[in-house]
Chain A
Amino acid sequence: DVKVTQSSRYLVKRTGEKVFLECVQDMDHENMFWYRQDPGLGLRLIYFSYDVKMKEKGDIPEGYSVSREKKERFSLILESASTNQTSMYLCASSSNDGYTFGSGTRLTVV
């Protein structure tokens, strides 16, 4: 029973492209998060949202934006992809019962 779904497992994009990473949760959670994970740097928070149309910057928001038009969907947008945005991207949602993660999207920017 998949609860947090990320639309793509692997993605290859060209430098300068606009990239959309989609995340959908079916647990009616209010809180949703986008992380990136790089070797040696661990998980770093990009953006999060506590409600529809709300967004807050995390630790590394530069070069990214987000959209939350519906409670179940949280999108991460790379306005102009660059090679240093090559990474594993993880979406999560949370409640008082903890965090649930999606399976991740491995993005390569060439």
Chain B
Amino acid sequence: QSVLTQPPSASGTPGQRVTVSCSGSTSNIGRNTVNWYQQLPGTAPKVLIYLNNQRPSGVPDRFSGSKSGTSASLAISGLQSGDEADYYCAAWDDSLKGWVFGGGTKLTVL
């Protein structure tokens, strides 16, 4: 059971906008920033969003992050087939004194 809660799956058609939610608590998302990672099949995770809503260079602006209270969201607009991947949220947990992750959301492009 992961500390951060994500839906196990999400889907959309090409061009659509989809969102992935991440629910936590006051000890993690409520007090600290959230990162999002994309893991394509058979590869290492890649930083998609850091500090709630910042994109590393090279990440398209189709990807955006937001946070409110103890929850965070990743939005993907203009969905493409290459976006099929697992998406994970993560945050520092002040009580556990460590990084905690969501269980991952598998995105399918129909």
Chain A bound to chain B: no
Chain A residues at the B interface, C-beta cutoff of 8 Å: none
